[in-house]
A and B are shown apart, each in its own frame.
Chain A
Amino acid sequence: MPANNLKEIKDNYDKQYANITKKIIICAGTGCVSSGSMKVFEAFKTELAKRNLNVCLKISEGCREIYLSKSGCQGFCQQGPLLSIGDTFYTKVKDTDVVELIEKSVLKDEVVERLLYKNPADGKQYKTTAEIPFYKKQTRFLLQDCGRINPEDINEYISNGGYESARKAIAEMSDAEICNFMLDAGLKGRGGAGFPTGKKWDLTRQSKGHKKYVICNADEGDPGAFMDRSIMEGNPHSVVEGMIIAAKAIGADEGYIYVRMEYPLAVTRIKTAVREAREIGILGKGIFGTKYNFDINIMEGAGAFVCGEETALIASVEGARGMPRPKPPFPAVSGLFGKPTVINNVETLANIGKIMAVGAQEFRKMGTKNAPGTKTFALTGHVANTGLVEVPFGTTLREIVNEIAGGTTGEDGSPDQEAFKAVQIGGPSGGCLTKEHLDMPIEYDTLKAAGAMVGSGGLVVMNKTTCMPSIAKFFMGFTQNESCGKCVSCREGTKQMLSMLTDITEGKADDKTMHTLEDLANVVKVSSLCGLGKSAPQPVLSTLRYFRNEYNEHIQNKNCPAGACKALAKYTIDPAKCVGCTACKRACPVGAITGEVKKPHAVDKAKCIKCGACMKACKFNAISVGG
Chain B
Amino acid sequence: MSVEKLSDVIAILNEYDNNPSKLIPILQKVQHKYNYLPEDAMTFVANSLGIPPAKVFGVATFFSHFSITPKGKHIIKICDGTACHVKKSEGIINAVQNKLGLNAQKHTTDDFNFTLECVSCLGACGIAPVVVIDEEVHPQMTPEKVTALIDEVAKKEAQNAGK
Question: A residues near B, CB below 8 A?
Answer: 30-31, 33-35, 75, 77-78, 80, 220-226, 229, 260-264, 266, 299-305, 316-322, 337, 378-382, 386-388, 424, 427, 458, 460, 462, 466, 471, 474-475, 478, 484
Q: Do B62 and A321 have beta carbons less than 8 Å apart?
A: yes
Stretch at the interface among B4-12, B80-88, B150-158: B80-88
Contacts of A319 in B (CB 8 A): 20-24, 59
Interface: B36 (CB within 8 A):
no
Contacts of A475 in B (CB 8 A): 82
Q: Can you list 17 A-B pairs with a CB-CB distance of less than 8 A?
A: A31-B126, A34-B130, A223-B81, A224-B81, A226-B125, A262-B121, A263-B123, A304-B62, A304-B64, A319-B23, A320-B55, A322-B63, A386-B126, A471-B86, A475-B82, A478-B120, A484-B62
B residues 66-80 in Cβ contact with A at 8 Å = 66, 79-80
Interface: B122 (CB within 8 A):
yes
Question: B residues near A, CB below 8 A?
Answer: 20-25, 27-28, 55, 58-59, 62-66, 79-83, 85-87, 119-128, 130, 135-139
A264 to B135, CA, bound (A): 9
Contacts of A382 in B (CB 8 A): 86
A466 to B62, CA, bound (A): 32
**Contact among B20, B25, B58, B86 with A299 in the assembled complex (CB-CB below 8 Å):** B25
Nearest opposing residue in chain A for B64, CB measure: A303
A405 to chain B, nearest CB (A): 11
Q: Do A427 and B82 have beta carbons less than 8 Å apart?
A: yes
- Given A35-B139, A319-B20, A319-B23, verify A460-B86 contact (CB < 8 Å): yes
Q: Do B62 and A224 have beta carbons less than 8 Å apart?
A: no
Scoring B59, B63, B127 by chain A CB atoms within 10 A of each residue's CB, the highest score goes to B127
- Given A34-B137, A302-B24, A462-B86, verify A224-B63 contact (CB < 8 Å): no
A462 to chain B, nearest CB (A): 6
A35 to B55, CA, bound (A): 42
Q: Do A304 and B127 have beta carbons less than 8 Å apart?
A: no
Contacts of A226 in B (CB 8 A): 121, 123-126
Q: Do A31 and B124 have beta carbons less than 8 Å apart?
A: yes
Q: Do B83 and A223 have beta carbons less than 8 Å apart?
A: yes
Contacts of B137 in A (CB 8 A): 30, 33-34
Contacts of A31 in B (CB 8 A): 124, 126-127, 139
A263 to B64, CA, bound (A): 15
A535 to B36, CA, bound (A): 33
A270 to B56, CA, bound (A): 28
Q: Do A35 and B127 have beta carbons less than 8 Å apart?
A: yes
Q: Do A386 and B127 have beta carbons less than 8 Å apart?
A: yes
Contacts of A379 in B (CB 8 A): 126
- Given A31-B139, A264-B135, A466-B86, verify A305-B120 contact (CB < 8 Å): yes
Scoring B21, B55, B65, B124 by chain A CB atoms within 10 A of each residue's CB, the highest score goes to B124
A393 to B68, CA, bound (A): 46
Contacts of B20 in A (CB 8 A): 319
A214 to B3, CA, bound (A): 41
B37 to chain A, nearest CB (A): 11
- Given A224-B121, A226-B126, verify A460-B82 contact (CB < 8 Å): yes
